[in-house]
Amino acid sequence: MTLTELLIPTFLHMLRGQSAWLDKAAAYERANGKDADALMTLRLAPDMYPLAAQARFASYLSMEPVHRLRGEAIPEATKEIQREGWNSAQRPGTFAEAKARLATAITFLEALPGNALDAGEYIDIALELPNGVVFDMTGEQYARDWALAQFYFHTNTAYSILRQHGVELGKGEYVAHALAYLRPGTLPKG
């Protein structure tokens, strides 16, 4: 399996899923006489980023690896999505903005050629964090041990925030893309 085959479908499945969860959450809010924008400030814990950040970080963390694994500088517009996430406690933005960030990432990933990341497996990546910590990895290590872990952390956190808030999401919504592999006739009745 190439890095393109591993990362791009994974990112697309989960970004589309997160977008659908947000739609379900907005319907939940409307049914309870509330505004979907209020969702953006929800958190799992006081010291964690709010839902607004989770959508932005998932979007950013699906695009960042594409640039790193291609040896490209991360575009300023992509970095801005990350900064929006960092600043989301002060400016959570709107529900529509969160959905737009997810749509931006989905459109970006859908436009990639089928071998977009295949040359990135063995490149050296120096991942410099804002606090000065630097990780040195190969492209394969970066994809496996950093990019996927970070992406799933923020995707799962968004899911958990919505569940904690009372939105009725289940495992089926989390892995809706896996239904493509369902053997006919094996789904329980009822």
Domains and CATH numbers, the chain: 3-181 (1.20.120.450)
pLDDT digits (tens, 9 = 90+) for 74-131: 999 999 999 999 999 999 999 999 999 999 999 999 999 999 999 999 999 999 998 9
Q: What angle do the packed helices 3-31 and 148-165 form, to 10 degrees?
A: 10
Residue with tokens 């500088």: 73
The whole-number pLDDT of residue 50 equals 98
pLDDT by residue (tens digit) across 64-73?
999 999 999 9
Q: How many residues does the chain have?
A: 190
Mean pLDDT score of the chain, rounded to an integer?
Answer: 96
pTM as predicted = 0.94
pLDDT score, position 104: 98
Say if residues 14 and 147 touch (Cβ distance below 8 Å). Answer: no
CB proximity list for 172: less than 8 A, separation 6 or greater: 179
Identify the residue whose tokens are 């950013």. Answer: 60
pLDDT, residue 188, reads: 84
pLDDT grade, residue 189 (50/70/90)? confident
pLDDT at position 138 over 90: yes
Q: How confident is the model at residue 190 (pLDDT cuts 50, 70, 90)?
A: low
For residues 57 and 59, give the distance between their C-alpha atoms in angstroms, rounded to a whole number: 5
Q: What is the DSSP letter of 70?
A: T
CA pair distance 134, 130, nearest whole angstrom: 9
